[in-house]
Every structure is written in structure tokens, then in C-alpha cells.
Amino acid sequence: KWGEKLDGKKYYNLKPFSPLFFRKGKSYQSSSPSTKPILSSPSGSSVPRGALETIGRLMKLGRVRNIVVVAGAGISTGSGIPDFRTPGTGLYANLAKYDIPYPEAIFNIDYFSDNPHPFFSLAKELYPGHHRPNYVHYFIRMLHQKGLLLRMYTQNIDGLEKLCGIPDDKLVEAHGSFATAACHLCYTPYPAEEAKQAIMKGNVPICTFCAGAVKPNVVFFGEDLPEKYFQHAEDFPKADLLMIMGTSLKIEPFASLVNTVKSTVPRLLLNRDPVGPFERRPLRRADYMELGDLSDSVRKLAEILGWHTEIQDLMNSHENGLRSYTDPSNSSDFF
């Protein structure tokens, strides 16, 4: 059942929607920097700083060495991939053609068991290969190159983190990926490329062992998260900065991860709207948020850190290499 802990394993649980309290395009911090000795200026004066300036300063001072990034679909909208819940443009607002009882049914394992066709139609559009990583992905890769990334936990199944060069051991794809496939009933592995070919032709790949429908190993509602996800129990207590980017924090158990860093650890939310614990007042003392477009906020932070040109160079050289891998004629054709 939703949200229950069973045999030590956690299951999905959709949280109810909460109202928003904050205006967009603004930088917030939980209290004046003057109340936080670590953040006061060298002269001792209490100059109020925005969230990005404060976090950038901590990073430049070398006070941050183990950053955990928590990300969702909002980091990929800059690559032309819609998120899930933005009214009007989100995936869940554009599923009418699939004739499903409610939007999340398309990723529900019981619904899939009855009728795999809606998911397979959508999967044709979701399969990685059509889109390129954007500046936000490369910023996260730069965190890694600077030796600051402890781990990135992503809910995304678009594969853009891997594509931009974030190595496997730094990445937890908490909601799985298209890289492997298996039977949804008996979990017998199935060659991922063969599954893709069948789905692209409009066929249902069938398990050779039990004749169940095979699906890519993206995690559906009602399924367990991958083993690797549970590494969070070690990672989050070690974090000295949490960056939360482009997620509504509506899906458990992922959403609650952000509450498992120590209470003194700064949490920076980069998103259009406040989400999860950032919707509540008062914020935690070490909570910071920059509301607005993620690419703009990340670029501002990169400029504060003096990384902007380096990220652009990295992006240009890596993108040139990727150009042969992807097919530009297929890009941005979701709806």
C-alpha cells in the first residue's frame, strides 16, 4: 500500500498539494546573516546577502566539501523536456490522448499490468536520445570536477545526467532509467535494446520466462526504488550543503530525503516555487532559496563562484562530442 514500510522497503506515497506563500524571482534566507556567525562578513558587519551570494561565499571560503544535489524534472525543462506538474505545460496536463483514468496512472504498475499501451506510447517520446543536457546539468558536473559533489540524487529518467558526464558512482537515479529492462511480473532481465526496438515499433516486449510484459526499469508507483537509492542513509548525514533543484518534492519517499541532512546544514532551494519544507514558515535557520528560472539562478551562482566561463567551455566541448550521438532532427517533439 502507498506510504507503508513493509519488510524494510519503502514505497511511493503521493503527498497532498500545499499552498504557496512566497513570491517568485526572489531570494530568501531564513534569518538575517548577522545572526549566523559563519555568514557574517570579515569586517564583522552584517550586510544582508541573497541566498546565492551566501552559499557562493560559503563555497568560496572552502566551508563546503560534500554537496548532495537533489533534482527533479525542472532541471531538464531547459533541454526541452516538460516537467510533470507545471499547469498547462507539464506532462500530466497533456495526457488526454492516452485515455487514462488519472494522469499518474501512466506510471502506475497495476494500471500497466492491465494495459501497458499508454505507457509504451509515451515511452516512445521519453526514451533518451532526443535531448541534450543544459547548463544546469553541466553546473552539477562542474561540482564534481571541483571535487565538491558527494552525490547527485535525481528523480529524472531522461538520462541527461549521465550524458553530460556525471560518473555512475556520483549518481543515484532514484526513479530508475531506460538503460535496463525486465519483466514487470517476474523481474527476469530482458535486453534493453531489444525492448526499445519492440516499443518503438508499437509492440509489447514479452518475457521469455513468464510471458509478462517487459518494461524499461523506470520506477513506477507501487514499485520498489533501486538498491542504490538506499545509499542515502550514508550520504545525507555526511552532506555539508544540500542543493535542491527543479522538483516539486511531491513524491515519497524521495521528497523526505531533504529532511535527513543535519539541521545545521545549509539547504539551498533553486526552483520556480517554494516546495516541501520551504513552503512552511518559519524556515529552518540554514534554509535558503532562490525562486525563478533555474538556468538563471544556476548561472548567477556560477558567476559568483567564477565558474561561468569554465562551465560554458566544458559544455561546448562536450556537446560537440555528443552531437554525433544524438539526432537533432528528433528534438523537442513531446506533445
Active site residues: 175
| Beta-strand runs (E) in the chain | 5-6, 9-10, 13-14, 27-29, 67-71, 149-154, 171-173, 176-183, 189-190, 214-218, 241-245, 251-252, 267-271, 287-291
* Residue 209 CA: distances (Å) to CA of 51, 167, 180, 198: 54, 33, 17, 17
CA distance 260 to 277: 12
267 a known binding residue? no
* Residue 174 CA: distances (Å) to CA of 159, 177, 225, 285: 12, 9, 6, 28
By C-beta, is 250 or 284 nearer to ligand OAD?
A: 250
Spatial contact of 320 and 72, defined as CB atoms under 8 Å apart = no
74 a known binding residue? yes
What is the smallest separation between the CB atom of 244 and ligand OAD, expressed in angstroms? 10
156 a known binding residue? yes
By C-beta, is 84 or 178 nearer to ligand OAD?
A: 84
What is the smallest separation between the CB atom of 196 and ligand OAD, expressed in angstroms? 18
217 is written with which cell numbers?
Answer: 526499469
What is the smallest separation between the CB atom of 148 and ligand OAD, expressed in angstroms? 22
The cell 549521465 sits on which residue?
162
By C-beta, is 93 or 185 nearer to ligand OAD?
A: 93
194 is written with which cell numbers?
Answer: 531489444
- Give the interface with ligand OAD as residue ranges (CB under 6 A): 72-74, 77-78, 83-86, 90, 104, 107, 155, 175, 219, 221, 246-248, 250-251, 271-273, 275, 293-294
By C-beta, is 73 or 183 nearer to ligand OAD?
A: 73
CA distance 256 to 32: 26
73 a known binding residue? yes
What is the smallest separation between the CB atom of 136 and ligand OAD, expressed in angstroms? 8
What is the smallest separation between the CB atom of 282 and ligand OAD, expressed in angstroms? 21
By C-beta, is 27 or 247 nearer to ligand OAD?
A: 247
Spatial contact of 83 and 72, defined as CB atoms under 8 Å apart = yes
Q: What are the residues whose beta carbons fall under 8 Å from the beta carbon of 143, sequence distance 6 or more?
A: 67, 69, 149
231 a known binding residue? no
Binding residues for NAD(+): 73-77, 83-85, 155-158, 247-248, 271-273
Binding residues: 73-77, 83-85, 155-158, 183, 186, 207, 210, 247-248, 271-273
Binding residues for Zn(2+): 183, 186, 207, 210
